């Protein structure tokens, strides 16, 4: 007999796009995390730029308790801070630079004034050139380089203002020869992996080698998400996508280093390029920003989220809205509501398939494409994909089928990682050993997880021999009878 201590029933989300919520002071208590999860959060981002390891450890433990309570795999993304470029300090704490004025960044340790300030990053001096830009304080101040001398970068302030101690600096026109991982990042990475984080977010990626370094340190643990937030990364986008396991469109810093009107088409380019590979793509930053302080978003923000969903992004992210805002639960509920409304649109499936994703010349890709066609042709409630590595689930989700993808895997780690994948409903379950067992388990799991009832049909994709990665070679359509749950099943 199965245990009567069954987890509380949580219905399928009823939407394909996933929601990634950032943890922080507003939501790191177990009760609020539980409310965010029930409201629609499929995954949680732990921002390593803020907070102590002890606090993050408690947050991660609380998320894992939620996972056990609801028997629903939850992805955890640990987002590394990355290298921060900053100016030095000022004698009076700040200085006002007039529009059109001359200002110098140099190597002197003396406190700054209205004429100059320390720039303690020799790497910038190695690559900066006349005519290039230096942006300060999230781009609020813009400087154009007039000349580069020994230890001095003389600039014209195209947009002046008040510059204060240790404000951030962006260098959009040059690739800075600094590693993507600082010593703090290395410590945070080791901590996150020890805590069982499923995804590692790598900030300020500039080149494929940045990902190679991170992956070597990861040693096969977790998956790697490259954050695209610098023009230098955009210039090598295809190489970076190839090296990463997922991509995040980090629009905040992209919007600093690029003109604002350049970001929307670039977002679509990154989403499409990533979707072609079947890897998850996350659209992030300032999606419902007004909800940090307001219980309702602006119409422009609603349209922004809706456009990301129409573009076929795998996941949309909330940052300060849930981490530090006054309305974290409402922000998740709103994002969930927007996504549901978009996906109910009769034109939604057509819109997400405007991108042609032709299958690769492999059996697994051909079968994934066949599953999408089956869902379009006959009435099925879901596609059940048995997978050892998660590859078959990614292939199937890449097709953007009209029905959910129930991902059945013996690996809890794979189940958690696929929680970021469009349309995926991950289930960690025991492996199968025969065709008959595959059919029976697919039926049971579909009924147990709310994908159809008696008479519903299910497309099942798997590989023979069972238990081998990369062996996907069959699709089978089965009919549910409603009696499957009477069968003994340990999961």
Is the CB of residue 143 less than 8 Å from the CB of residue 136? Answer: yes
Active-site pick, 45, 116, 142, 207: 45
Distance between CA atoms of residues 351 and 216, nearest Å: 38
Is the CB of residue 383 less than 8 Å from the CB of residue 397? Answer: no
Tell me if residue 479 is catalytic.
no
Shortest CA distance to 55 belongs to which of 78, 25, 80, 75? 25
Tokens coding 145: 């380089």
Tell me if residue 285 is catalytic.
yes
Tell me if residue 269 is catalytic.
no
Active-site pick, 86, 107, 156, 186: 86
Shortest CA distance to 343 belongs to which of 296, 311, 389, 381? 311
Tell me if residue 15 is catalytic.
no
Q: DSSP of 144-188, one letter per residue?
A: EEEEEETTEEEEEEEE-EEEETT-BEE-TTS-----S--HHHHHH
Active-site pick, 167, 227, 394, 416: 227
- Burial grade of 159 (CB within 10 A; 0-12, 13-18, 19 or more): middle
Distance between CA atoms of residues 257 and 251, nearest Å: 10
Active-site pick, 59, 104, 285, 418: 285
Report in angstroms the alpha-carbon separations of 125 from 105, 106, 149, 154: 10, 9, 9, 11
Tokens coding 408: 């059945």
SS3 317: strand
Query: Which residues are marked as active site?
Result: 45, 86, 227, 285
């Amino acid at each position: 007999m199965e245990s009567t201590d069954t987890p509380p029933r949580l219905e399928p989300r009823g939407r394909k796009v996933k929601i990634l919520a950032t943890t922080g002071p507003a939501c790191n208590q177990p009760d609020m995390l539980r409310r965010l999860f029930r409201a629609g959060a499929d995954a949680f981002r732990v921002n390593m730029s803020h907070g102590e390891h002890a606090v993050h450890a408690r947050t991660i433990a609380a998320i894992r308790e939620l996972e056990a309570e609801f028997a629903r795999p939850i992805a955890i993304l640990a987002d590394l801070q990355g290298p921060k470029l900053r100016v030095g300090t000022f004698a009076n704490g700040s200085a006002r630079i007039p529009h059109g004025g001359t200002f110098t960044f140099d190597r002197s340790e003396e406190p700054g004034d209205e004429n100059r300030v320390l720039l303690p990053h020799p790497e910038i001096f190695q690559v900066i050139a006349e005519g290039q830009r230096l942006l300060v304080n999230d781009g609020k101040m813009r400087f154009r380089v007039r000349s580069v001398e020994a230890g001095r970068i003389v600039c014209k302030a195209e947009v002046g203002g008040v510059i204060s101690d240790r404000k951030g600096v962006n260098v959009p026109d040059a690739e800075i020869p600094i590693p993507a991982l600082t010593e703090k990042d290395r410590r945070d990475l080791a901590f996150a992996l020890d805590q069982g984080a499923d995804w590692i977010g790598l900030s300020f990626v500039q080149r494929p080698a940045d990902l190679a370094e991170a992956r070597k340190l990861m040693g096969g643990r977790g998956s790697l998400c490259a954050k695209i937030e610098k023009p230098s990364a955009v210039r090598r986008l295809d190489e970076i996508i190839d090296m990463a396991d997922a991509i995040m469109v980090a629009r905040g810093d992209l919007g600093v280093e690029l003109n604002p009107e350049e970001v929307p088409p670039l977002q679509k380019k990154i989403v499409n390029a990533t979707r072609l590979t079947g890897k998850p793509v996350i659209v992030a930053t300032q999606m419902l920003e007004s909800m940090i302080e307001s219980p309702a978003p602006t119409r422009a923000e609603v349209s922004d989220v809706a456009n990301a969903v129409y573009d076929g992004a795998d996941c949309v992210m909330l940052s300060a809205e849930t981490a530090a805002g006054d309305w974290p639960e409402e922000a998740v509920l709103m994002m969930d509501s927007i996504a549901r409304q978009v996906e109910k649109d009769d034109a939604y499936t057509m819109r997400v398939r405007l991108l042609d994703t032709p299958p690769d010349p492999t059996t697994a890709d051909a079968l994934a494409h066949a599953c999408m066609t089956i869902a379009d042709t006959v009435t099925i409630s879901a596609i059940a994909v048995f997978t050892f590595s998660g590859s078959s689930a990614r292939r199937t989700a890449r097709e953007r089928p009209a029905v959910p993808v129930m991902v059945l895997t013996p690996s809890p780690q794979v189940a958690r990682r696929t929680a970021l994948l469009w349309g995926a409903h991950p289930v960690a379950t025991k492996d199968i050993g025969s065709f008959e067992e595959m059919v029976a388990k697919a039926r049971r799991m579909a009924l147990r997880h709310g994908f159809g009832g008696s008479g519903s049909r299910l497309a099942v994709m798997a590989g023979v021999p069972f238990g081998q990665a990369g062996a996907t070679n069959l699709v089978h359509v089965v009919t549910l009878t409603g009696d499957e749950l009477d069968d003994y099943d340990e999961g």
